[in-house]
Structure 1
Amino acid sequence: MNLKNSPVTQHQFQGHLFSLKRDDLLHGHFNGNKARKFASVLDEPLPGVTRLIGWGSAQANSLTSLAALARIKGLKLTYYVAHKPHWLDDRPMGNYRTALELGAEVLSIADIVGSDAPHPEQYIQTVHGSDPACYIIPEGGRFQAARVGIEQLAKEILSWSRFEKGNNIKVALPSGTGTTALYLSQELKPKGIEVLTCPCVGGKDYLLSQFQELGEYENYPTILELEDKHHFGKLYREDYLIWLSLLQHTDIEFDLLYDPMMWRCLTPWLATNPDTTLMYVHQGGLLGNETMLSRYHRKFGD
């Protein structure tokens, strides 16, 4: 597998030209920022390891990526969730369905332990932490090993930037844990390229704390925020409309959970920074749109 050198395409949206780094095209199941974060695990021999262990949401993009990674490596994936709705097994969809098709084992800690179940990370460390046959990957790929694949992404962006000499280049992408934005900024900022991001899961303070937990204290990305609080996973009409407008203007589908907030932050920022040469990094994760669109349809209708 050659998980690098994704193409760059040119587009226009709301009067602004931008380049799009098509990391959604890296691989059918193993793409976007998760493919970059897990690249080092893909290349690592892992002698004696027979099982990958992960945790997060039953519809997380990382679930599909980990399932694909385990399949490629010939390993078993055991993925823990705090709670799994029982209807999901009767009607699997999105990332959950695809992960099952790839052979993943998805376990609910609430079903195993009961109502007093610990946090998945704590449970995993207790049960699997000392098992040499298990390789544990933190939720969302927030670990220092992610730097390897993101450094490769930075090299590709720098190679592209050689054709944009003299321009005011900015690179934009949304953040969950902020791992990709952080490591990308640490590579690009010293080269004169600013990285813009927004905190999709929590606020600015949360994102800064995530950077510091990785042991990093310099060359942070610039954090853009909406005026009103944005709750992760909540459905916003404005998010859907900007996602739909992007699809109509670019003929490219974006992630419906993270990308709309970034574009809502970018739009007013670009209006006050018209001299910007923008590269947007596609986040992949389109399997999650199946469940997101179903939720939007139930809430807002046609």
Structure 2
Amino acid sequence: MNNSPISKISLEGRDFYVKRDDLIDPFLAGNKYRKLYTLLKTPSNKLNKIISYGGTQSNAMLAIAAVCKRKSWEFEYYTKPLSKTQKSFSHGNYFHSVKLGMKHIEIEESFYKDFIASLSLTIDVTTFIVDQGGAVEDAKKGLEVLAEEIRSANLKLRSLATPSGTGTTALFLALALPEFKIYTTPCVGDVKYLKQQMQALSEIPKNLIILEPNKKHHFAKLYPEFLDIYKKLLLSGIEFDLLYAPGMWEALLAKTDEEILYIHSGGVSGNESMLKRYEQKSFY
């Protein structure tokens, strides 16, 4: 794959650069491509099955499904029970993942945590587990590739930004680019939770700056201010996801003032279902 291009946009009177990882692949794009880079490079005959778990709006779920489709691997994905309404959707990440061959398995909520903790006890050498959000040590290689792409662009700026779920992307990017300032903000949980997730993988480097959100946001909940930022970004010429990007852009606009390269996380395939939810609430 060729290096993803860099675009320039204007937002609320400021210029930003955007690393267009969203253009890599319709389903396997953005930070999920980077996190799953090692898995993509794994020979097809080395594995038979991939197992993962989490939510059904997950961009990682869809990206893993796309990898398994390419490699002819089985893909089992575990979640808490879903509503009949969500299962009936003909759009969104869950719908596309099932079409790509994902086997979805529901676990009762009272057993879910213990079941997930026991997954690694039952696998063999031909099965690989991807933790929720793609937060695995193997993600480091893909972020090192991204770091080299950024260096080769020879930009004058020295500040980058990427939103965080588990913080894997921001952490490994900061480790790979010590000469850059890396901004991130928690989109799932709070700053304390984000630091705990990162510290499970590595010591947090000094060049990684976590911006505290203006207010607490619950993941995947609808917020008019997030929709407003989404629309402004769309007018700038680039579509961003509605789950992670708005919180990051809100923090950047409020708490930074320098030139910044935003790493596009992809995930726009989930916008269709999110926009329908905004329409149902008469926000859109």
TM range (shorter): over 0.9
The residue identity in structure 2 corresponding to 1:122 is A
Q: 1:91 to 1:277 in 2, by over 3 A?
A: closer
Q: Could you give the per-residue CA deviations for residues 242-275 of structure 1, whole angstroms, max 9, x where no partner exists?
A: 1111111x221100010000111011223xx3xx
Match of 1:180 among 166, 169, 176: 169
1:124 corresponds to 2:119? yes
| Partner in structure 2 of residue 240 of structure 1 | 227
| Counterpart in the other structure of 1:279 | 261
- The residue identity in structure 2 corresponding to 1:269 is K
Q: What is the 5 A alignment of 1:101-250?
A: 101-110=99-108, 116-119=110-113, 121-126=116-121, 129-160=122-153, 162-164=154-156, 167=157, 169-189=158-178, 191=179, 193-219=180-206, 221-248=208-235, 250=236
Deviates more, 1:56-65 or 1:85-94: 85-94
Looking at CA atoms only, which structure, 1 or 2, has the larger radius of gyration?
Answer: 1
| CA gap 1:163/1:196 in 2 versus in 1, 3 angstroms | closer
4+ residue runs of structure 1 moved beyond 6 angstroms?
none
Residue 268 of structure 1 pairs with residue 254 of structure 2: yes
- The answer to whether 1:299 aligns with 2:272 is no
Q: 1:301 to 1:277 in 2, by over 3 A?
A: closer
Please give the root-mean-square deviation of Cα atoms over the aligned residues, in Å.
1.6
Deviation string, structure 1 residues 112-156 (Cα, Å, up to 9, x no partner)? xxx632325225235xx3323311111101011000000011111
Match of 1:22 in 2: 20
Give the secondary-structure state (helix, strand or coil) at the position aligned to 1:78: strand
Give secondary structure in 1 for the equivalent of 2:251: helix
AA in 2 matched with 1:255: D
Q: Using the TM superposition, give the Cα deviation of residue 63 of structure 1 relative to its aligned residue in structure 2, in angstroms.
A: 1.1
Q: Distance in 2 between matches of 1:258 and 1:174?
A: 6
Percent identity among equivalent residues? 37
SS at match of 1:52: strand
Alpha-carbon distance in structure 1 between the residues aligned to 2:94 and 2:100: 10
Counterpart amino acid of 2:112?
P
Check conservation: 1:36, 1:149, Cα contact below 8 A. Answer: yes
Aligned mate of 1:251, from 224, 237, 244: 237
Please, which of 267, 272, 277 is the counterpart of residue 290 of structure 1? 272
TM-score (norm 2): 0.94
The question of whether the paired residues in 2 share the 8 Å contact of 1:197 and 1:222 is answered with yes
Give the superposition deviation at 1:48.
Answer: 4.6
Distance 1:105 1:14, change over 3 A: same
Q: Displacement of 1:87 after TM fit?
A: 2.2
Counterpart residue number, 1:64? 62
State whether residues 186 and 219 of structure 1, in contact with CA within 8 Å, keep that contact through their aligned partners in structure 2.
Answer: no
State how far apart, in whole Å, the 2-side matches of 1:226 and 1:130 are. Answer: 39
Match of 2:93 in 1: 95
Structure 2 letter corresponding to 1:99: S
Give the direction of change, closer, same or farther, for the CA distance of 1:141–1:263 in structure 2 (3 Å limit): same
CA apart distance, 1:16: 0.8
Name stretches of at least 5 consecutive residues in structure 2 with no aligned partner. Answer: none
Q: 1:287 to 1:163 in 2, by over 3 A?
A: closer
The structural deviation recorded for 1:298 is 1.4
CA gap of 1:81–1:181, structure 2 versus 1, over 3 A, is same
